[in-house]
Structure 1
Amino acid sequence: MVRRALRNDPRKGAVLGFGVAFVVLSAAGLDAASAETLPEALVKAYQANPQLNAERARQRATDENVPQALAGYRPQIMASLSAGLQQVRDLLPGNSVANVTLRPWTIGVTVTQVLFNGFKTANSVRVAEFQVKSGREALRNVGQGVLLDGVTAYMNVLANQALVEAQRANVNFLKETLAITKRRLDAGDVTPTDTAQAEARLSRGLSDLNAAEVAYAISKETYAQVIGQSPGSLIPAETVDRLSPATLAASSTAARSENPAVIAASYDVEVATTTISVAESSLLPQVSVQGGVSRSVESDTTLGSFRTDQASIVGAASIPIYDGGTAASQTRQAKELASQSRMVLEQIRNQARTAVASAWVSNEGTKVALRAAESEVKAAGVALDGVRREAQAGQRTTVDVLNAQQDLINAKTRQIVAQRDRVIASYTLLSAVGRLDVRTLNLNTPDYLPEVHYHQVRDAWHGLRTPDGK
């Protein structure tokens, strides 16, 4: 029924022949010099993402636990100074009274050195060092999450942009179809039903276009939040399957030794186990030595001495006998926490194994889905061409053409989503294994090394300046 109008319309090829694959977006007049690739976007996220920078600051704070624990090996030096006025009223023989104003002052220095505290200092240093190692893995885990968020944000913008273009082309096609149908209605070739069907499809197309534009706007804001700036022209991204193990078994094995969450949990077990020894130190003897020098000056000339200088060195040992049960309770508590940490480690290992299996299956599934979507788009395009030719021969109605067009739009939408999911799934698998980092991806940015700040502060005996860790 739409034969003559479709055949004679010179714009039908431009209306129907739109492309929505990502590669079309990169070839549709984009300036290659200003276009941004996924690795470039990930570099910006790695350098400026607030969440990642906050985690780096947290790790630098954790580094300070080590010099604080090492302070137990070092002497404690205290200087003291006291001065004041003292009014003295003396009752002398013969009931005479003498008032004297004194101005005494004392200055001194005390040095205390712990010789033995039940190995508390040594074990506290070990705890602090394990905390640092656990924190580094936690930082690496956050870094993986930020990079994966960057990939997701990038691909969402790319996909939603393609969906907007697809829906716009669809609306243009529906507008042309409605205009043609109205002309044919005026000529008496179709009924008002055909016009109503075309109007309904156009309304649906406008609604779908609006939804696509809303999703596109949201994805751009999410991109700005993760990457640090609004997206410009984005270039289609490639998968990173080549960086992941070749089999599911190899991926699971790699995750057990490389996944940062698993490694961090294993260090947490070491922290909890060593904390038991820290708690037990309160049950052992304590030995220290203290030396001091002081000078005390009195201004009362009636005293036998005007100034007193003192120097001393004193050794002290204490053996705990009973503290009300505090140390014993703390030791039992530490043992329970160590048991909990071992259970948490096993739980995280199971979660990592499940995450790898899920990521692997999803990654393989996206390959199938993408191939199916590409085949569907090709078949839907052929079907639309056939329906249009049959409509030109009077064997199809307007609604048949509209349905074929809708099938093609749905197929292209699924293809766009499959292309997005394909890339994200490959990065998700890499993250589950524990290899989603700057070095593996070969990003063009210096890798943040937490060890630098650690060595800057580990043996610092004094100073308030905070190193930047670079």
Structure 2
Amino acid sequence: MSMRGVASVLICFFLSGGATHAETLMGAMCRAYNANPQLNAGRAELRAIDERVPQAQAGMRPRISGDGYLGVQRNRLVTKQRDVDINDPTVTSVTKNIQNGGSIPRSAHLTFEQPIFDGFKAQNETRAAESGVFAGRERLRLTEQRILFDAVSAYMNVLRDTAALKLQESNVAVLKEQLRQTRERYQYGQITLTDVAQVEARLAGGKSLAGAARATLDASIGVYRKTVGVEPTKLAPGAPIDRLLPKSREEAERIAQSEHPFILAALHDADVADLDIKALEADFMPKLSITGDVFTQTDIAGIGNRNVGAKVLGHLNVPIYEGGLTSSRVRQAKETAGQRRFDADVARAEVLSLVRAYWGALQAAKTQISAAQTQIAAAERALYGIREEAKAGQRTTLEILIAQQELLYARIALVFAQRDRVVASYAMLSSLGRLSSGWLGLTPGGYDPAIHFDQVKDLWGDPTTPDR
């Protein structure tokens, strides 16, 4: 098959063809969504953040503890008694008495405390923890977007590099055939050794480029394996995701400003910082709680002694002066809250910049495809004409080689532009905050972070992790 025929087949495969039972772009993203270790690590991190809510709620829940003691006690009592003779008081005697004994001292102590008022500290800490969970969910969406976009890039890179390698190998085959024909013409005296050397040089360069294309493809396969989790076999062509994109850049900017997880996470972080201020200010307020004690003691103070009792007390703690520690923490929290609000402004600006950059890249990729197709058509006509003119002696071998190289580069440029066109559409979707399993319809009923949150938010105990 000629180089032109091979290139036509490759371009058609890249755009609209593929083998039966081939891996699809959506299938690759689905694999990454379900099995990528970075995404699974992000989900585990969010589940850990969920636990901050019951931890904060514990501040107003009762606390009960018990203590117990059990041991062995040995006693040895030595007493001395001085006796006086009643008939002669000047005569005395000393009597020594020794008593040995043992006991098992034991005690049990049960205490409890029920906070009544804590200055709304636990309430504000709980609200801050919930806002932290919402921020964590948005960051998980960011991780999901990044993994899915990496899967798209890896998939399209393998397709691109496979097509580029085939074009380079086809170029080598054409140059080999051209070298054979050139040597035949030299033997008939139609051309000189210079023409043969020119073709030999181009053939050596073509082999070098084919080797480099093979190395690039191997690297892309490695990235695909890392991102998707399997080796690429037969990959079906990828298509742009234009159906999910807005019609104008202005609409895209509006959507991104209201939906992008980077902005939403920053806004939730600002809420957390504001609530942290209120939680710290609670340390200025009095605390009220009820405490209770139930105890029993046996053989503690002495053999045969037992003490049993119970008490219930109200405990009021009024902070007066703590050395300025709380005041400093409140000032620090206020500065942090101001920083978080600035971070939200930064996030808006960065997302706006991304939208405009990716919108421009998408439009450029469309233009590049059209230009590359026009360039290929012109280069094919030029190569045909130069070959025909060379038969009449009006063109040189070098001119044929240059025309062949320009056609090769035009075809490779089209392959790259087709890859960029698909990737740019997914990058644009990512800049909107909509590159997700839900928007793409990858896995109906996929991972829902709210399930684990609902399972643990009201737990009073049980250290086992819930099923999810």
Aligned-pair distance for 1:89? 4.1
Aligned to 1:400: 399
Counterpart mapping for 1:9-408 below 5 A: 14-19=2-7, 23-25=11-13, 31-32=19-20, 34-92=21-79, 94=81, 96-298=97-299, 306-408=305-407
Aligned-pair distance for 1:302? 6.1
Question: Structure 1 residues 30 and 419 mapped into 2: Cα distance closer, same or farther (>3 Å)?
Answer: closer
Aligned-pair distance for 1:298? 1.4
Structure 1: give runs of 5+ residues left out of the alignment. Answer: 1-12
Q: Which stretch of the first structure deviates more once superposed, 23-32 or 324-333? A: 23-32
Q: Is 1:16–1:173's contact at 8 Å kept on the other side of the alignment?
A: no
Whole-Å Cα distance in 2 between the matches of residues 407 and 227 of structure 1? Answer: 35
Aligned-pair distance for 1:186? 1.5
Q: Is 1:21–1:416's contact at 8 Å kept on the other side of the alignment?
A: no
Whole-Å Cα distance in 1 between the matches of residues 411 and 102 of structure 2? Answer: 100
Whole-Å Cα distance in 1 between the matches of residues 10 and 77 of structure 2? Answer: 102
Is 1:443 aligned with 2:442? Answer: yes
Question: Structure 1 residues 30 and 437 mapped into 2: Cα distance closer, same or farther (>3 Å)?
Answer: closer
Q: Secondary structure at the match of 2:7?
A: coil
Q: Is 1:164–1:212's contact at 8 Å kept on the other side of the alignment?
A: yes
Q: Which stretch of the first structure deviates more once superposed, 99-108 or 327-336? A: 99-108
Q: Is 2:24–2:235's contact at 8 Å kept on the other side of the alignment?
A: yes
Q: Which protein has the larger Cα radius of gyration, Structure 1 or Structure 2? A: 2
Aligned-pair distance for 1:88? 3.6
Aligned-pair distance for 1:91? 4.7
Aligned-pair distance for 1:173? 0.6
Aligned-pair distance for 1:311? 1.0
Whole-Å Cα distance in 2 between the matches of residues 377 and 163 of structure 1? Answer: 15
Whole-Å Cα distance in 1 between the matches of residues 267 and 16 of structure 2? Answer: 51
Q: Secondary structure at the match of 1:380?
A: helix
Q: Is 1:102–1:299's contact at 8 Å kept on the other side of the alignment?
A: no
Whole-Å Cα distance in 1 between the matches of residues 356 and 325 of structure 2? Answer: 46
Aligned to 1:6: none
Q: Secondary structure at the match of 1:17?
A: helix
Aligned to 1:9: none
TM-score (norm 1): 0.93
Q: Is 2:280–2:326's contact at 8 Å kept on the other side of the alignment?
A: yes
Opposite residue 148 of structure 2, the aligned amino acid is L
Aligned-pair distance for 1:445? 4.6
Whole-Å Cα distance in 2 between the matches of residues 317 and 127 of structure 1? Answer: 26
Aligned to 2:93: none
Question: Structure 1 residues 373 and 76 mapped into 2: Cα distance closer, same or farther (>3 Å)?
Answer: same
Q: Please give the per-residue CA displacement for 1:53-101, whole angstroms capped at 9, x wherever unaligned.
A: 0000000000000111111121111011111223344454615343433
Q: Is 1:22–1:158's contact at 8 Å kept on the other side of the alignment?
A: no
Question: Structure 1 residues 392 and 137 mapped into 2: Cα distance closer, same or farther (>3 Å)?
Answer: same
Whole-Å Cα distance in 1 between the matches of residues 199 and 351 of structure 2? Answer: 52
Cα RMSD (Å): 1.8
Q: Is 1:20–1:165's contact at 8 Å kept on the other side of the alignment?
A: no
Q: Please give the per-residue CA displacement for 1:268-301, whole angstroms capped at 9, x wherever unaligned.
A: 0000110011111111111111112111111887
Whole-Å Cα distance in 2 between the matches of residues 158 and 145 of structure 1? Answer: 20
Aligned to 1:467: 466
Opposite residue 113 of structure 1, the aligned amino acid is Q
Matched-pair identity in %:
40
Q: Which stretch of the first structure deviates more once superposed, 214-223 or 181-190? A: 181-190
Aligned-pair distance for 1:150? 0.5
Opposite residue 171 of structure 1, the aligned amino acid is V
TM-score (norm 2): 0.93
Opposite residue 337 of structure 1, the aligned amino acid is T
Whole-Å Cα distance in 2 between the matches of residues 300 and 259 of structure 1? Answer: 70
Opposite residue 336 of structure 2, the aligned amino acid is L
Whole-Å Cα distance in 1 between the matches of residues 284 and 300 of structure 2? Answer: 48
Whole-Å Cα distance in 1 between the matches of residues 465 and 378 of structure 2? Answer: 64
Q: Secondary structure at the match of 1:266?
A: helix
Q: Please give the per-residue CA displacement for 1:216-265, whole angstroms capped at 9, x wherever unaligned.
A: 11111110110110111111111112212211111111111100010000
How many residues matched?
A: 454
Aligned-pair distance for 1:430? 0.4
Aligned to 2:92: none
Opposite residue 71 of structure 1, the aligned amino acid is A
Whole-Å Cα distance in 1 between the matches of residues 48 and 98 of structure 2? Answer: 64
Opposite residue 73 of structure 2, the aligned amino acid is Q
Aligned-pair distance for 1:24? 3.3
Q: Which stretch of the first structure deviates more once superposed, 161-170 or 91-100? A: 91-100
